[in-house]
Chains A and B, each alone.
Chain A
Amino acid sequence: MNLAWYILRRVIFGAFVVLSVMTITFALSHSLGGDPVYAWLGKAAGMHPDLAQAYIQKYHLHDPVYVQYYYYLANLAQGNMGYSPSRNFIPVTEAIAQTLPYTIQIALFAIVITLVVGVLLGVVSARYHHTPIDAAIRAFYLTGYASPPFFVALLLLMLFTYVLGILPSGAAFDPTLSKPYWITGIPIIDGVLEGNFSYSASAFTHLILPSAALALVTFGIVTRVLRSSLLEIMHTNYIRTARAKGLDENTVFYKHGLRHALIPIVSLSSLIVTWLITGTIFVENVFSYPGMGRYLVQALNGEDYPGILGAAIVFALVIVTANLIADILYAVVDPQVRLG
């Protein structure tokens, strides 16, 4: 099949996945029981019954679940994701616009750390395989891989903030600095674009620990896959040919071996994005970082159905998109994939 048809099939499948996530999340969140109007209004629901009734009517809270889902879909078709009670009833789209840039910032930086550290240690581990260096690297990445993100986050907080005192304990930037105008919403980028480098530096410093906490949990898989891939490739015929031609070992390893060993990392990228996105839920709460992970926890605690759904849809879209890009890249690189 040609590439365009392959991409179309993947897009349709991705849309189906997002719709499924949305439906399952809707059903699960509405099966929690209880009356959300009490979660939203607190004791005012009892004190002011007419007020509670106004909320019930406006948000169809006592309608059957399928009726509520119908209203949700009808609003969604018009670009309205509802209003977020845990954010004092601002539009969910606005809440996402406020929080998503921070999560993107963390995730991007975490991806960079993951790939840089993962590839570096994968190369070193393969180069010095079956040596103490290899063993130490494997122990390091297995420890990170086996640790929950919030645990790693707390350890980093204690080490770099409490003990060493060189990094901040949380938040996204130093509020005593003047903020740049909202251009992309991503603090570092907006600061650079405006020439407000102090702000960008502050945003960067506040980014280090949350991103490192995420990366330390995910880099291990990159290291492990790259190590295995490199070791396999270094025993192939074309590598033997390269050596036979008289090329030095560094050229054989990096120019011929590493280049091909990196291909599996491409297919891993979608998994990395998935882990990083889900990890933000824990890490952002430890570092009080105002991103989507923190918003999702806030929405869950407040039985904020529209907020929960909005965050779930966004996360699903990001993960589906990452998988789609990975699939497309793989299909471009290896045409056999399209024919499958």
Chain B
Amino acid sequence: MSTTSRAKKPIIALVIIVIVLIAGGWYYSMSQTSAPSTTSMMETSSSAAQSGPSTLVIDDPFWPSGDLNQLNSIYAIPYPDWLTYTVYQSLVTLDGNALYSSGDVKVLPMLATDWNASSDGTTYTFNLRQGVSFSNGDPFNAYQVWGQMYGLYYLSSNSSSFLNGYGVFDFSNANFGPATLALMAQSGLVNPSPDLMKIMTDTSWPIYVTSQNQIVFHLKSPFIWFPHTLVAFVGLIFDTQYVLANGGFGTPASFNTNFNQKPIPGTGPYVVTDASENSYVKFAQNPNYWGSGLSAADIQANAYLDPGHVQNVIIYTKSDDVARYTDLSTGAAQISGIESQDWPQVLKNPDKYGYFVMPDSSMAFVGISMNTHRYPTNITDFRQAVVHAVNLTDISQRVFFGGLAPMIGPEYPAQKDWYDLGNLPQYSNDLTVAKQYLAQSGVDVTKLQPLEFRVVSGCTYCYSTAQIVQADLAQIGITLNIEVTPGNQWALPYVAGAGTYQQGLNASQQVAQFTWFGTGTFAPGAPTPADAWILFANKNTPANNYAIYSNPTVQACVDAWTSTNDVNTIKSLCTAAQKQMYDDAPYIWLGAIKLVFGGGSVAWDKNVVKSALLDPVFTGISSTVIFNTVTFVGS
């Protein structure tokens, strides 16, 4: 038999296989009836807002830890919470347009129409929007809000700081537990029974109702920024009646998991229609959305109320950056989170891609803490040497693509009335000054053991920054060992910020001299000017005091936020505190981030997407856009 005829059979077999594969692909492409495409979005984008493109596809690097179960809000998860303002709304919100144009923090009504505070600043009364229902038709009212607040309080193991870490309530008179929950379930929250009403209207409890449409929050001490604590997380309102009818809240260590992928209904412009764990979530516009009739002027004034400009949304979780960039470039996704690995590709194509850039005044930042109780970072002059040796501009350019705005902590730059009280300048990057401070500290670097710098595993820009800091400090003779720490060890006794100040103090000799702030970028749990002081400089903090830092002058400022409503007093105390912290330098404030992921951001196809907003605490809640605010080219 000739070689030619011998070769025929395997070649024929290969050809048949190729034909089958191509046929399969053709059949699939023909079976696609509603796959999103750039072309279809362009064709429909000129229609009226409510009848815009049929499907918006977003790729996100993360799946919500805590799934879609809003009962997790007491843990400050789900993160990312794609349901913020899309499915759930809060009593109050922030002006998103002002927030992301100039960093102005302005509180606006959402499910509450208005509110007032008593003269002593301890009692807040909210009047609720009437005629609002959840997406399943259950009515939204004060009883629902009451039920939710106490239900979450119960799930937190009756923690007085259940409200996003703010211990503003005194629950000593409130006896809420399984018996009350059982009464709620029996009575319902649409027309509560007299027994339940008696409890709900009890004014000795910190949260009580006065009518179907009015709810009161009584604080143990004045806190001017209390409404800001309701903007997200625990403040996102869900249908408590639905929770009670579907298994209840559960117990503190075993809450109801029924809502993991079938979330509790909300009042927002979208509903979840389908979810697949660690894969995707599908949304559709809520036909019962109370804000469907809002005018363009209303939406311009309060962007988070937008009913949305696309009928369907799919958010995919794709952990691989190449896959997300590929989807964006091929049009399979119109918005995609791109991290540092592929960020240069986005930057190289400015005509094709738009991306999110934070204003200089934002609340998300990156920083490094110095252990103020372990040698040698327990010496103030040593810390001053460090902050003058670190080259922040270099870090911004080389690690964050130029995306770090200067920051004088602890206050977030967006809190403009409270930021950098005293107008202190950023620490100069000056090796001569650094060496002078080092000499003053009395530390002999030639005899110094390498210092520990702890960063969390998986954060590439953290390692990159740590290497630059290591090189900077080497110039003044300080040697750093970078310790990449797995997430399961990002806790005490290795990381002070994971526990209370006292726990950090007890473990101070094990905590590294330098620790990356958090597990990546840091954003507040609530957009209040008190947040940064309460977390980073407070001896009574529940968490986040990474430097184990406390000072009486600073503590006076910390305590003032929740003890007086006299703004001038707070400002005076905090101006002194700001100067004290500047001199003590417990933290290296690397800067406020301008890109959502530090080394990357949320990018979109500029031919399709015109604009979008992020969440009200600068990606402290969601890692992608609040998609009801997405507007499209041509619409």
Interface residues in B519-544 by Cβ distance below 8 A to A read 542-544
Which residue of A is nearest B503, CB measured?
Answer: A46
Tell me the residues in window 278-297 of chain A with beta carbons closer than 8 Å to chain B beta carbons: 285-288, 290, 294-295
Spot the interface stretch: B86-94, B179-187, B195-203, B277-285.
Answer: B277-285
Closest residue on chain A to residue B330 by CB atoms:
A165
Evaluate contact between B278 and A169: CB separation under 8 angstroms: no
Encode B321-333 as 1/0 by CB contact (under 8 A) with A. Answer: 0111011011010
Tell me the interface secondary structure of chain A in the complex. helix
Cβ 8 A contact of B488, one of A39, A43, A99: A39
Q: Are A44 and B314 in touch, CB under 8 angstroms?
A: no
Contacts of A177 in B (CB 8 A): 33
Of A9-17, A87-95, A138-146, A228-236, the stretch lying at the interface with chain B is A87-95
Indicate whether A169 sits within 8 Å of B332 (C-beta atoms), given known contacts A43-B544, A287-B320.
yes
Interface 9-mer from A18-26, A65-73, A197-205: A197-205
Q: Which of B21-29, B204-212, B404-412 contacts A (4 or more CB under 8 A)?
A: B21-29
Taken together as a complex, chains A and B put the C-alpha atoms of A208 and B17 apart, in Å, by 13
**Hey, which chain B residues are within 8 Å of A287, CB to CB?**
320, 323
Q: Check B28 against A202 for contact (C-beta < 8 Å).
A: yes
Q: Is A149 an interface residue (CB 8 A)?
A: no
The reply to whether B165 and A158 form a contact with Cβ atoms under 8 Å apart is no
Q: Are A303 and B1 in contact (CB under 8 A)?
A: no
Binary B-proximity of A212-237 (CB < 8 A = 1, otherwise 0): 00000000000000000000000000
A39 to B489, CA, bound (A): 8
Q: Per-residue CB proximity of A97-130 to B under 8 Å, as 1/0?
A: 0110000000000000000100010011001000
B1-33 vs A: 1/0 string, CB under 8 Å?
A: 100001001100110010001001101100111
Q: How far is the CA of A120 from the CA of B15 in the complex (A)?
A: 12
Min CB gap B459→A, angstroms: 12
The reply to whether A205 and B1 form a contact with Cβ atoms under 8 Å apart is: no
Please, which residues of chain A bring their CB within 8 A of the CB of B397?
none
The chain B residue sitting closest to A102, CB to CB, is B279
Contact indicator A176/B35 (Cβ below 8 Å): yes
Tell which of B67, B74, B317 touches A44, judged by Cβ atoms closer than 8 Å: B74
Q: Does A54 contact B (CB under 8 A)?
A: yes
* Interface residue? B176 (CB, 8 A): no
Question: By the criterion CB–CB under 8 Å, are B162 and A48 in contact?
Answer: yes
Q: Is the CB of B492 within 8 A of A35?
A: yes
Q: Is B55 an interface residue (CB 8 A)?
A: yes
- Are the C-beta atoms of A157 and B323 separated by less than 8 Å? yes
Contacts of B1 in A (CB 8 A): 248-250
User: Which residues from 242 to 258 on chain B have a C-beta closer than 8 Å to any C-beta of chain A?
Assistant: 251-255, 257
Q: Does B178 contact A (CB under 8 A)?
A: no
Partner of A161, one of B75, B330, B491: B330
| Binary per-residue interface labels of chain B (480-523) against chain A in the complex, 1 for a CB within 8 Å, 0 otherwise | 00000011111110100011100100000000000000000000
Residue from B27, B28, B274, B319 within 8 A of A285 (CB atoms): B319
Asked if B77 lies at the interface with its beta carbon under 8 angstroms from chain A, I say yes
Establish whether residues B253 and A58, one from each chain, have CB atoms under 8 Å apart when the complex forms: yes
* Contact across chains for A172 and B323 when beta carbons are under 8 A apart: no
Could you tell me if B542 and A175 are in contact, using CB atoms closer than 8 angstroms? no
Please tell me which one of the listed residues A49, A98, A198 contacts residue B277 in the complex, with CB atoms under 8 A apart: A98
A169: chain B residues at CB < 8 Å are 318, 323-324, 326-327, 330, 332
Tell me the chain A residues, 31-59 only, with Cβ under 8 Å from chain B: 32-36, 38-39, 41-51, 53-55, 57-59
Closest Cβ neighbor of B157 among chain A residues: A50
**Among the listed B74, B487, B544, which residue makes an inter-chain contact with A48, where contact means beta carbons less than 8 Å apart?**
B74
Task: Give the nearest-CB partner of A286 in chain B.
Answer: B320
Is B578 an interface residue, CB under 8 A from the partner? no
CA distance A47 to B164 in the complex (A): 9
By the criterion CB–CB under 8 Å, are A51 and B159 in contact? yes
Q: In the complex, what residues of A have CB within 8 A of residue B488's CB?
A: 32-34, 36, 38-39, 303
A321 within 8 A of B: no
Q: Is B277 in contact with A87, judged by CB distance below 8 angstroms?
A: yes
Please name all residues of chain B whose beta carbon is closer than 8 Å to the beta carbon of A95 when the two chains form the complex: 277
Q: Which B residues have a C-beta under 8 Å from some C-beta of A?
A: 1, 6, 9-10, 13-14, 17, 21, 24-25, 27-28, 31-36, 55, 63, 65-67, 69, 72, 74-77, 155-159, 161-162, 165, 251-255, 257, 260, 274, 276-280, 282, 312, 314, 316-320, 322-324, 326-327, 329-330, 332, 458, 486-492, 494, 498-500, 503, 542-544
Task: Sample 10 A-B pairs with CB under 8 A, ordered by A number.
Answer: A34-B494, A35-B492, A39-B487, A48-B162, A50-B156, A51-B74, A51-B253, A120-B13, A168-B332, A301-B458
Counting from the closest, the 3 A-B pairs by CB-CB distance are A38-B491, A46-B543, A34-B489
